[in-house]
Structure 1
Amino acid sequence: MGAELSTLKVLYVEDESVTRMAVTRVLQKRVAEVFSAKDGKEGLDLYTQHKPDVVLTDLQMPVMDGWEMIAEIRKENGNVPIIVISAYDYEDSQYKVCDSIVKPVIKDVLFEKIERCAK
């Protein structure tokens, strides 16, 4: 089994406010702390400040997109588990992403992937 969800700090980055609020509420019920950001720049700032155990991120966002944010996080920590949540399926070879979820987010799938990636 993966990491104990109730001990994890999670960063969630999503530019769509309704989705961000809904997923943040779901996460808050199962993990220790949730830090949510509206774009990659804010996400990177929160990552640097809080050093979460897992990063969940959208890809297409204003200011700084998900790929740019991931690249910056990887410079600081090459091992933090990152799960991409996107409306589009994609191929990843460059950024060492742990897993991906295609929107809409299904709660059970979200927690299963977080648990697996955080082990």
Structure 2
Amino acid sequence: MRKIPLRVLYVEDEELIRVMMVRFLERFQFSVCSAANGKIAWDLFLEYRPDVVITDIKMPFLDGIQLAKKIREKNVNIPIAAMTAFSEPEIIEEARIAGVNEILIKPIDVEKIRELLLTYEK
């Protein structure tokens, strides 16, 4: 078992959803850093060095697919989960090509995110 909390970078442009999800994840002893868009998330990724990234796909400034590509240039092993309200195969395929490991369709089941993160703790 890990002695230090799993560091999670959570990226979501909808403020209410972001705040609620951060609170939920912190209740389960994850260390969470959050960003409102991909541009902020990229800077936080470099500074915070998370263990896992969970990002929305559709965001202003730098979307989740562009963010995943930038992350993969720096770190090929970090798990990346992408959230989307759009389940079109083209978007999902583009995300997978960018290096996303998990696709989560909105509305997100918070328990599913918790279970996913627990698999990365081991």
TM exceeding 0.5? yes
The Cα of 1:96 is off from its aligned counterpart by 2.5
TM-score, normalised relative to structure 2: 0.86
> Where do 5+ consecutive residues of structure 1 fail to align?
none
Give the alignment of 1:1-119 within 5 angstroms.
Answer: 7-89=5-87, 90-91=92-93, 92-117=95-120, 119=122
Q: Percent identity?
A: 35
Is the alpha carbon distance of 1:57 and 1:79 closer, same or farther for their aligned partners in structure 2, counting shifts above 3 Å? same
1:77-111 Cα distance to aligned partner (Å, 9 max, x none): 01100011111222244123221211112121111
1:4-48 Cα distance to aligned partner (Å, 9 max, x none): 5x7200000000111111111101111331000000000011000
> Where do 5+ consecutive residues of structure 2 fail to align?
none
- Flag as ranges the 4+ runs of structure 1 deviating above 4 A: none
Q: Which of structures 1 and 2 has the larger relative contact order (alpha carbons within 8 angstroms, sep 6+)? A: 1
TM-score, normalised relative to structure 1: 0.88
Task: Please say if residues 84 and 99 of structure 1, whose CA atoms lie closer than 8 Å, have aligned partners that are also in contact.
Answer: yes
**C-alpha RMSD of matched pairs (Å):** 1.9
2:103 and 2:121 map into 1 onto residues whose CA distance is 14
